[in-house]
């Protein structure tokens, strides 16, 4: 899949979580790239939310980083899975990306607290 030009907050969050997971295990980007069979620049792009990561690669990375929290890994997989385009995509270019990010995040919410 080609790189995204502007990742959503959800995609950025997934990338940040993957980077946090990798750094907590003291795994270098080069080592992670070698493990996943991709080049180092793609690891950087995944962590920026610009590129996607497959479930298989995500689980492999989590295993290599000694992450045993299945609920956490499942949540990351759910974030990584390509979702069908939401209703808010019709408004991309017409509304600010911040508003579109809120709509996407709200659609994935399991509860709202105010």
Structure confidence at residue 45 (pLDDT): 94
Residue that wins the pLDDT comparison between 10 and 3 = 10
Indicate whether 63 and 17 sit together in one domain.
Answer: yes
Indicate whether 33 and 75 sit together in one domain.
Answer: yes
Structural domain count, the chain: 2
8 Å CB contact between 32 and 64: yes
Indicate whether 109 and 78 sit together in one domain.
Answer: no
Q: Is the pTM of this model over 0.85?
A: no
Q: How do residues 65-88 score in pLDDT, each as one tens digit?
A: 999 999 999 999 988 886 667 888
Query: Which of 2, 67, 72, 16 lies closest to 44 in space, CA to CA?
Result: 16
Full 3-state SS string of the chain: CCCCCCCCHHHHHHHHHHHHHHHHCCCCHHHHHHHHCCCHHHHHHHHCCCCCCCHHHHHHHHHHCCCCCHHHHHHHHHHHCCCCCCHHHHHECCECHHHHHHHHHHHHCCCCCC
> Is pLDDT above 60 for 2?
no
Give the domain range for residue 95: 86-114
Indicate whether 35 and 66 sit together in one domain.
Answer: yes
Relative orientation angle of helices 97-108 and 9-24, to the nearest 10 degrees = 70
> Is pLDDT above 70 for 56?
yes
**Neighbouring C-alpha atoms within 13 Å toward the C-beta of 13:** 12
Structure confidence at residue 4 (pLDDT): 61
Indicate whether 78 and 90 sit together in one domain.
Answer: no
Q: Is the dihedral of CA 101, 49, 47, 17 positive or negative?
A: positive
């Amino acid at each position: 899949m080609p790189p995204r030009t502007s990742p959503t907050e959800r995609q950025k969050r997934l990338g940040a979580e993957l980077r946090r997971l990798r750094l907590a295990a003291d795994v270098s980007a080069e080592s992670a790239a070698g493990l996943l069979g991709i080049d180092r620049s793609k690891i950087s792009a995944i962590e920026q939310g610009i590129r996607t990561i497959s479930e298989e690669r995500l689980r492999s990375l989590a295993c290599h980083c000694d992450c045993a929290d299945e609920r956490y890994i499942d949540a990351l997989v759910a974030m990584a899975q390509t979702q069908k385009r939401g209703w808010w995509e019709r408004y991309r270019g017409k509304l600010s990306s911040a508003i579109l990010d809120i709509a996407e995040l709200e659609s994935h919410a399991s509860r709202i607290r105010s």
